[in-house]
Amino acid sequence: LDPLPDLNVGSDPDMLREEQKQAGQLAWKVYRTYWSAVGGVIAASIVLSLLLMQASKNTADWWLSYWISTLNHNGSTCRSDRSLADGVLPRLLLFSPGGLMSPLPAGPAFLSTNTSADVKFYLMVYGSIAVANTVFTALRAFLFAYGVVCAAEAIHNRLLDRVLKATVTFFDTTPLGRILNRFSSDLYTIDDSLPFVLNILLANIFGLLGMLVVMSFGLPWLLVPLLLLALLYHRTQHFYRHTSRELKRLCSLTLSPIYSHFSETITGLGTIRASGSAARFEGENTRRLEQNQRCLFLSSAAMQWLDIRLQMIGVAVVTGLGMIAVIQHQYGSVDPGLVGLSLSYALSITMLLSGLIFSFTQTEMQLVSVERSEEYATGLPSEPQHQNTQVPPAWPERGLLEFCGVDLAYREGLPNALEGVSLVVQPGEKIGIVGRTGSGKSTMFLALFRMVELSQGQILLDHLDISTVGLSQLRSRMAIIPQDPFLFSGTIRENLDPCQRHQDQQLLDVLDQCHLSSVLSRIGGLDAEVGERGKCLSAGQRQLLCLARALLTQAKVLCIDEATASVDQKTDQLLQRTIRERFQDHTVLTIAHRINTIMDCDRVLVMHAGKVVEFDTPAALSQTKNSIFHNLVGEQGK
């Protein structure tokens, strides 16, 4: 074989940097996981039914041969004396299928002639064994199909559950393509390809077992060349297995960047076309595809490598036997029946062995997908799921918010995005938050919703430390309108009130307050579709819809993150007024895009580089000559 071309995946730093590739033998854990995903009882029943199926099959064969032997036996005894029969018998016993079993006991049945009653008896027994075999075969097929579907479902559900509960940091650091890859390609393998090869593997294993058992009774000396053959096969598969498994891992690994790049390209299509970079992106796509194709190609090539070797072993054995027969023929006589029989045995044994090797290596390769999905199902950092039963159902009743020396870093190794933030927001206060981009305004909200955990300090809401509250409790008691508004595909109604808790009139009222009623009547009422991610609405209308959603919740604390940036100034001002009216006794934190919309706030918080630099009434701040707020007002006033 030519030396393998340099795979060169390692030269792309972002491809291998974070998505880890396991190396070496599949851990026993993977097999165990699959076994338990199938379900211990079902898995054991599958094995048992396979055993019964194989046993009944071999028994049927044995019965047939037994019958034939007795026929011969009886025929001989009837016509002549035992000594003549003995002369015929040894060869028959050794090489006829019936002879595979130990010599027959001489019961009364064998001494009688072959009457029709005997035929009936043999046929009946044979028929029952065949029926049993059919039943076991069907049972095994059903159990297997059921088991693998159970396994696929269990693995999928566990994976989905863990990914949905993963921390925000995980999504920050993991490209979407990697997650998509596990959910598409790996799950497909577990759903479809793995059961297919596993089925063949199991059939081969039990077929071989059956053959070994029969052989050790009938032709024990054949086990010696078989052992030698097995060693040869083992050596060959050993070499292939390690290569193919790593190649499969590389295949899976190189698939993620394709997904990532493709989804990125589709999302940013407008920008790509506008900047004339379509060719570059096409090239990049081709490059990543090529990377994956190389692994796939090598994988196929390695499979051919194995296939050729397995077949060559088979050919060598058969050729060897043929040669021996020819040579023997030169020096003496050979029994043509014997030669034919050994040739057919050699063929079936080598075929069984190579089938076993092939299905085993393929199964192991497909199990890499189980390994990868397990990696996520067990290794992902997940958000704490506990609920705090001591939290009163009505908490927070007042909306008193206290930040005490809060430090927050997005990840280890990153600088603090919030540093020593301490402030108190009185119940019902309307706070405007301003500051340069990147000063930590949005981060404050994320800290409040515990999207990222604090590295130091506490946040108290109505004197209760929010880190002691269950995440779903905490997040359900506050409302946020994030910086980029998110709508689901579906109707306006589903987006406004996903849990269907409100009357239509309430929905219409709130839409009216958000100045959306004219839009609503134009697109066709509450049941109009908003399209994927709200595509049918403008950015501003999407923001307004998110605002309406938040207004509906009537949470005690409302956080608004530049939620009106895409809305015209006049509507913005009207909205601020609506919010102030509807949320009169609620605490409202507004990150402002336009300074003038927060001029009538109770107090203004100015952030800079993760720290609170000014926190006072707008009037007081604008009168202080060298305050940042004063400068900001001046800038925007121009």
Ligand X SMILES: Nc1ncnc2c1ncn2[C@@H]1O[C@H](COP(=O)(O)OP(=O)(O)O)[C@@H](O)[C@H]1O
Binding residues for ligand X, rule CB under 6 A, total 12
| 271: Cβ contacts below 8 Å, ≥ 6 apart | none
Applying CB under 5 A, which part among 208-216, 380-388, 437-445, 611-619 lies near Mg ion? 437-445
* Cα 514 from Cα 574, distance rounded (Å): 9
Minimum gap (Å) between residue 479 Cβ and ligand X? 18
Which three-class secondary structure state does DSSP give residue 66? helix
Question: At closest approach, how far in Å is the CB of 488 from ligand X?
Answer: 22
Nearer to Mg ion, 236 or 442 (CB): 442
Told to check if 442 binds ligand X by CB under 6 A, we report yes
The contacts of residue 565 (CB under 8 Å, 6+ apart) are 543, 593
- Reading across the β-sheet that carries 430-435, which strands appear in turn? 478-481, 557-561, 587-591, 430-435, 603-608, 611-616
What is the footprint of Mg ion within residues 457-496 (CB under 5 A)?
483
Which of 156, 288, 441, 477 binds ligand X (CB under 6 A)? It is 441
Q: Which of 435, 457, 485, 618 binds ligand X (CB under 6 A)?
A: 435
The residue (of 448 and 519) whose beta carbon lies closer to ligand X is 448
- Which residue carries 């709200």 as its tokens? 534
Cα separation, 195 vs 199, in Å, equals 6
Minimum distance of ligand X from residue 179's CB (angstroms): 17
In the complex with ligand X, the residue whose CB is nearer, 118 or 264, is: 264
Give the residue with the Cβ less far from ligand X, 435 or 457: 435
Nearest approach, Cβ of residue 408 and Mg ion (Å): 14
Least separation in angstroms between residue 464's CB and Mg ion is: 27
Shortest Å distance, C-beta 449 to ligand X: 13
Nearer to ligand X, 412 or 581 (CB): 412
String of DSSP letters for 297-342: HHHHHHHHHHHHHHHHHHHHHHHHHHHHHHHHHHHS---HHHHHHH
Nearer to ligand X, 43 or 558 (CB): 558
The Cα 593–Cα 433 span in angstroms is 9
Q: Which of 438, 498, 531, 634 binds ligand X (CB under 6 A)?
A: 438
Nearer to ligand X by Cβ, of 246 and 561: the residue is 561
CB of 167 to Mg ion, least distance (A): 20
Which residue stretch of 219-227, 320-328, 433-441, 461-469 sits at the interface with ligand X (rule: CB under 6 A)? 433-441
Q: How many residues bind Mg ion (CB under 5 A)?
A: 2
> Which of 197, 632 has the CB closer to Mg ion?
632
Q: Is 82 left (phi over 0), alpha (psi -120 to 50) or beta?
A: alpha
Matching residue, tokens 């799921």: 385
- Amino acid at site 45: S
Give min distance, CB of 421 to ligand X, in A.
11
Q: What is the 3-state secondary structure (H, E, C) of 497-559?
A: CCCCCCCHHHHHHHHHHCCCHHHHHHHCCCCCECCHHHCCCCHHHHHHHHHHHHHHHCCCEEE
Rounded least distance, CB 605 to ligand X, Å: 11
Cis? peptide before 103, omega within 30° of 0: no
Which residues touch 386 (CB under 8 Å, ≥6 apart)? 470
Backbone angles phi, psi at 625, to 5 degrees: -60, -50
Pair 483, 442: CB distance under 8 Å: yes
**Element (H or E) spanning 145, and its range?**
helix 116-165
604: left (phi over 0), alpha (psi -120 to 50) or beta: beta
- In the complex with ligand X, which residue's Cβ is closer, 350 or 443? 443
Segment 127-186, which members bind ligand X (CB under 6 A)? 172
The C-alpha atoms of residue 316 and residue 325 are separated, in whole angstroms, by: 14
Interacting stretch for ligand X, rule CB under 6 A, among 93-101, 204-212, 384-392, 436-444?
A: 436-444
CB-nearest residue to Mg ion? 442
Which of 70, 174, 350, 442 lies at the binding interface for Mg ion (CB under 5 A)?
Answer: 442
Q: State how far the alpha carbon of 523 is from the alpha carbons of 146, 515, 541, 575, in Å.
A: 48, 14, 12, 22
Residue 204: contacted member of Mg ion, ligand X, none (CB under 5 to 8 Å, by partner type): none
Q: Please state, in angstroms and rounded to a whole number, the distance separating the CA atoms of residues 39 and 45.
A: 10
What distance, in Å, lies between the first and last C-alpha atoms of the chain?
Answer: 75
- Closest separation in Å from C-beta 439 to Mg ion: 9
Mark the segment that binds ligand X (CB under 6 A) among 144-152, 336-344, 439-447, 504-512.
Answer: 439-447
In the complex, what is the shortest distance from the CB of residue 508 to ligand X, in angstroms, rounded to a whole number? 33
Q: Kindly write out the interface string for residues 238-267 of this chain, putting x where it contacts ligand X by CB under 6 A and - elsewhere.
A: ------------------------------
CB 440, min distance to Mg ion, A: 9
167 or 571: whose CB is closer to ligand X?
A: 167
Smallest separation, CB 637 to Mg ion (Å): 23
Give the three-state DSSP class for 589.
strand
The site partner of 568 among ligand X, Mg ion, none (C-beta below 5 to 8 Å per kind) is none
* Contact assessment for residue 572 and residue 597, using Cβ atoms and an 8 Å cutoff: yes
Contact 551, 579 (CB under 8 A): yes
**With binding defined as CB under 6 A, does residue 437 bind ligand X?**
yes
From residue 392 to residue 431, what is the string marking binding to ligand X with x (rule CB under 6 A)?
A: ------------------x---x--x--------------
172's contact among ligand X, Mg ion, none, with CB below 5 to 8 A by partner kind, is ligand X
Among 314, 440, 457, 618, binds ligand X (CB under 6 A): 440
With CB under 6 A as the contact rule, the residue among 185, 439, 576, 622 that binds ligand X is 439
- DSSP for residue 595: G
What does 410 bind: ligand X, Mg ion, none (CB cut-off 5 to 8 Å by kind)? ligand X
Binding stretches for ligand X (CB under 6 A): 172, 410, 414, 417, 435, 437-443
Binding stretches for Mg ion (CB under 5 A): 442, 483
